[in-house]
Amino acid sequence: MSERIVPRTFKGTRDFLPPEMMERERIGTILRGIFRRYGFAPLETPAIEYLDVLLGKYGDEADRLIFRLAYKDAATAALRYDLTVPLARVISQYPQIPRPFKRYQIQPVWRAETPQLRQGRFREFYQCDVDVIGSSSILADAEIVAVTEEALSALGFERFRIRINHRKILAGIVEAAGLGPEWDLPVCRAIDKLDKIGHEGVAEELVRAGVSEEARARLATILEMRGEARAVLAAVEPSLAATASGPAGVAEMRRLLGELDALGVDGGHIAFDLYLSRGLDYYTGPIFESVLPDYPHIGSLTGGGRYDRLIGLFTGDPVPATGTTIGLDRIMTALEQSGGLQKAGSPTVCLVTQFEEATLPAALALATRLRRAGVPTEVYYDPDRLKKQFAYADKRAIPFVAVLGPDEAAAGKVTLKTMETGEQQLLDQDQAVATLVGALRPGAGAPQT
């Protein structure tokens, strides 16, 4: 074995120590519960994919960020870059999977970026994707928005907004401004930057792209329509009436808004935002993104839309698809900044002290009773002085300490100390178990079986 190694994490990656991991597991449990209640099923794919499966899906710049393995040669295998391309591969590889296929997937992805830790840009980070594959129904898009809204609410966010737009409406707006379909992408890329560069910046971008003054004026007139989603839709509808894709976009958007209502989604969380276009050119229908108005610097917490062309790259036939990515790292950041994180150092609710050799069996038996009742319980490992054992509980923020001396053990009793108040009670062990079960945060220690 070698000499002492300097312990350090690979640049751009992180260890998740217990306080953060406990929150990540709590969030994962909440999200999985919501996904499943909508009938989404879990999928996992390997970290390693053949390189040709990954290359050419994300653009040249992204291709350079794919982490390759030094396996045979670096042109053979690589680490997955996102969860969408592996999903497309799965759909194509297993034609027996019934469609529509509703899946969620929560796994890390890797990008060989220059890490910018302050901006939360890492080389290894979790993605959480929810998608419906194989349905053109707008109801599938509505469910993705409903899942997003329910997830953000369940995680404790109150003020958030899910921005929605539609690629066909954007195309209609471009056409209504007198521009051909070749202008879709440059115009979308420019207006999508509104949050970062403001209206003037967008205007400059459009000039730089070569959009004429007349077209810019027409674009501005339509894009400025703001207000309640249905009002915006009604206002924009006449301008798009004569365009190729505008009316279909308006009809689908109207349907989407109606279905969100019927699904009980809080309309206060939904915003129809004509500027939203999201950079990627693979979106083909509704697009959505959620943001926290109080924390604009965090960026979007979720983002997605309908992408009816990507899966076909693998299957050969077009397969409609819609979905969203939920950004777990940004959600952690937002919860941290809004005080919504519960940072406990350990799951333990009760520390049973070890008084002396003779009472250890009684201490272990009490610990087992507590564990079987669902109370996360530790037994102190050595018969140290009680002061030291209390200090241990204090350091870990363990809320209760059970002291079992010879008298208590003989009488089937226990002294239960509440660490926060310092209060000590001599209780029957039955009472102590009941007290501790009552003190559990809901779900904290209970098995989910």
Considering only residues 293 through 332, tell me which ones interact with its own copies, judged by CB under 8 A.
313-314, 316
Stretch that binds its own copies, among 93-101, 240-248, 419-427, 429-437 (CB under 8 A): 93-101
Q: Is 129 in the site for its own copies (CB under 8 A)?
A: no
Site string for its own copies, 380-399 (x = CB under 8 A): -xx---------x--xx---
Tokens of 254: 């109207």
For the bound state, the minimum distance from the C-beta of residue 34 to its own copies, rounded and expressed in Å, comes to 7
Query: Exactly one of 62, 65, 82, 97 binds its own copies (CB under 8 A); which one?
Result: 97
Query: Whole-angstrom Cα distance, residue 59 to residue 281?
Result: 10
| Minimum distance, C-beta of residue 194 to its own copies, in the bound complex (Å) | 28
Q: Which is nearer to its own copies, 59 or 296 (CB)?
A: 59
**Does position 442 bind its own copies by CB under 8 A?**
yes
Rounded to an integer, what is the distance from CA 418 to the centroid of its chain?
A: 36
Which of 35, 160 has the CB closer to its own copies? 35
Query: What sections of 122-166 are H helices per DSSP?
Result: 138-154
CA distance 305 to 327: 15
User: Can you tell me which of 64, 71, 201, 213 binds its own copies, judged by CB under 8 A?
Assistant: 71
Minimum CB distance to its own copies smaller for 90 or for 270: 90
- Cα torsion for 219, 224, 230, 234, to the nearest 10°? -50
Edge-to-edge strands, sheet with 161-166? 41-42, 101-110, 124-133, 321-326, 302-306, 286-291, 161-166, 270-272
* Residue ranges in 173-212 that form contacts with its own copies under rule CB under 8 A: none
Centre a 10 Å sphere on the Cβ of residue 293 and count the other Cβ atoms it contains: 9
Nearer to its own copies, 222 or 409 (CB): 409
Positions in 20-39 near its own copies (CB under 8 A)? 21-22, 24-26, 29-30, 32-34, 36-39
The nearer residue to its own copies, 245 or 377, going by C-beta atoms, is 377
- By beta-carbon proximity to its own copies, the closer residue of 109 and 176 is 109
How many CB atoms are closer than 10 A to CB 352?
25
Q: How far apart are CA 49 and CA 78, in angstroms?
A: 6
Q: Which is nearer to its own copies, 25 or 228 (CB)?
A: 25
* Residue 295 · residue 338 · CB < 8 Å: yes
CA angle 111, 322, 178 (to 5 degrees): 95
Is position 67 an interface residue for its own copies (rule: CB under 8 A)? yes
DSSP 3-state of 116: strand
From 67-75, 209-217, 230-238, 287-295, span contacting its own copies (CB under 8 A): 67-75
Residue among 120, 374, 399, 405 that touches its own copies (CB under 8 A): 374
Q: Tell me which residues in 226-265 interact with its own copies (CB under 8 A).
A: 258-259, 261-264
Q: Which of residues 412-431 bind its own copies (CB under 8 A)?
A: none
| Number of chain positions touching its own copies (CB under 8 A) | 113
Smallest CA-to-CA distance from 279 within 158, 170, 430 is with 170
Q: Which residues pair with 129 in a beta bridge?
A: 105, 325
β-pair type (124-133, 101-110): antiparallel
Q: How far is the CB of 364 from its own copies (least distance, A)?
A: 4
Cα(344)–Cα(328) distance, integer angstroms: 19
Least separation in angstroms between residue 420's CB and its own copies is: 19
